[in-house]
Chains A and B, each alone.
Chain A
Amino acid sequence: MKKVKVATAWLDGCSGCHMSLLDMDAAIISLGRKIDIVYGPLVDAQEFPEDVDVTLVEGAISSQDDLSRIQKMRQRTKILISLGDCAVNGNVPAMRNSIPVSKLLQRVYVDGSEERKLIPTDRVPALLKQARPLREFVKVDFWLPGCPPPAKAILGLITDLLEGRKPEPTQPVKFG
């Protein structure tokens, strides 16, 4: 049987959702027989492949780089999933949203810094005005909130998709 191509992405989040993904214990081994992880922080691929079946996205859209990445992922993925609160509603990254970007950078890198008081511009993507949820930029097919979503809920979602079902939560999903 042809393996299902799954990608994961880490945008403006803390990687906690990826930790939760790895936290499914032995189930990840049997899952590995059915899926290939073709892109994401857990594998080496540098370029997002052309024809991905499922992409799980952690994190909010917070920078110019996040934005171009999510647009490319959407073009190249059949099913796009918002994984975790940041991708679903902005969550912690969105707590900066009422502060103007220039003031924010000034506070963190100049006022808040002991040495090298310098706002980084070289090789770091420019921040967007606000960190916002995925669905405000691209079409999202399914959402799995939680901070992080429990490993079992992630496994349930992937299993449902593998077996051709519309994902139905096996346990109540909650924000936070």
Chain B
Amino acid sequence: MAQKKLSIRIDGQLISAEEGQTILQAAKANGKYIPTLCALDGLTPVGACRVCLVEVSGVDRLFPACTTPIQEGMSVTTNSPRLTRYRRMSVELLLVERNHTCAVCVSNGHCELQSMATALGVNTVGFAYNYPKLSVDMSHPRFVLDHNRCILCTRCVRVCAELEGAHVWDVTSRGIHARIVSELNEKWGQATSCTNCGKCVQACPTGALAEKGWAVEEMVKKIGTVTSLVHRRGVQV
């Protein structure tokens, strides 16, 4: 059955989109760019990073484009000084929360958080740095989990549960104490449900999940291997 068509405006332009689509999907289908970090094609959107915030006219608060479904007559603004301010703030808060030492990171130069900061013109951070003491899990024979670089985007959780079907990863605790854990907080190397497929590593936007054996700047993620798999399987989200 054909999807019902809805008429919305994105940045003033009249667009016909399918009912059930999110603002982000409708924008993408019409060549409109909205910056994102936690979103990944084919995975359930969660609205974790707050980088894709947009304005909806008539409503004062901002909406994450990745999780907000479109409605008939909706008018969306994807870019404004206010949005840039809030998007920068989101990235700055991610940068202060943990230890993103780009200069010595395996993902330096190939990191989505780093390039988002650049794209948004973040050249300093207005909040006090947290510098928490965080662990690094080296127990897996092929991969590393470095909590210092994790932004809790949960791409690893979703790609493992939804694409690989193993659901090794989850999030434990709340707020500043939240951490990615494998199985019931086991060491990754002891996680018997892990198939060693590496999808979580390729989907991770930062250096939080990486292959072993790479030095600074050497970990280039093959995110296409994950998204192409989505398209091959025809996963509808």
Q: How many residues of B contact A (CB 8 A)?
A: 26
Interface centre among A99, A135, A145 (most CB of B within 10 A): A145
With A174-B118, A175-B114, A176-B109 given, is the CB distance from A94 to B123 under 8 Å?
no
CB B94 to nearest CB in A, in angstroms, measures 12
Taking CB atoms and an 8 Å cut-off, the chain A residues in 66-104 that contact chain B are 82, 85, 88-92, 94-95, 97-99
Residue pair A175, B117 in contact (C-beta under 8 Å): yes
A133, B125: Cα distance in complex, Å? 10
Residue pair A89, B109 in contact (C-beta under 8 Å): no
Interface of B is mostly: loop
Q: B115 on the interface (CB 8 Å rule)?
A: yes
Contact of B115 among A132, A145, A174 (CB under 8 A): A174
Contact of A95 among B99, B109, B123, B132 (CB under 8 A): B99
Contact of A147 among B102, B123, B133, B134 (CB under 8 A): B102
Which chain B residues border A94 with CB–CB below 8 Å? 99, 101, 129, 131
Which chain A residues border B131 with CB–CB below 8 Å? 90, 94, 97-98, 130
Contact of B102 among A132, A140, A172, A176 (CB under 8 A): A176
CB A59 to nearest CB in B, in angstroms, measures 13
Which chain A residues border B104 with CB–CB below 8 Å? 92, 95
Contact with B along A147-176 (1 / 0, CB 8 A): 100000000000000000000010011111
CB A6 to nearest CB in B, in angstroms, measures 20
With A85-B103, A88-B123, A173-B123 given, is the CB distance from A98 to B118 under 8 Å?
no
Residue pair A89, B133 in contact (C-beta under 8 Å): no
Which chain B residues border A97 with CB–CB below 8 Å? 131
Q: B221 on the interface (CB 8 Å rule)?
A: no
- Closest A residue, CB atoms, query B129: A90
Which chain B residues border A95 with CB–CB below 8 Å? 99, 101, 104
Residue pair A174, B124 in contact (C-beta under 8 Å): no
Q: B219 on the interface (CB 8 Å rule)?
A: no
Taking CB atoms and an 8 Å cut-off, the chain B residues in 113-151 that contact chain A are 114-115, 117-119, 121, 123-126, 128-129, 131-134
Residue pair B108, A98 in contact (C-beta under 8 Å): no
Residue pair A174, B101 in contact (C-beta under 8 Å): no
Which chain B residues border A82 with CB–CB below 8 Å? 124
Which chain B residues border A135 with CB–CB below 8 Å? 124, 126
Q: B70 on the interface (CB 8 Å rule)?
A: no
CB<8 Å pairs between A and B, sample of 12: A90-B129, A98-B133, A99-B133, A132-B129, A133-B124, A133-B129, A144-B123, A174-B115, A174-B117, A175-B100, A175-B114, A176-B108
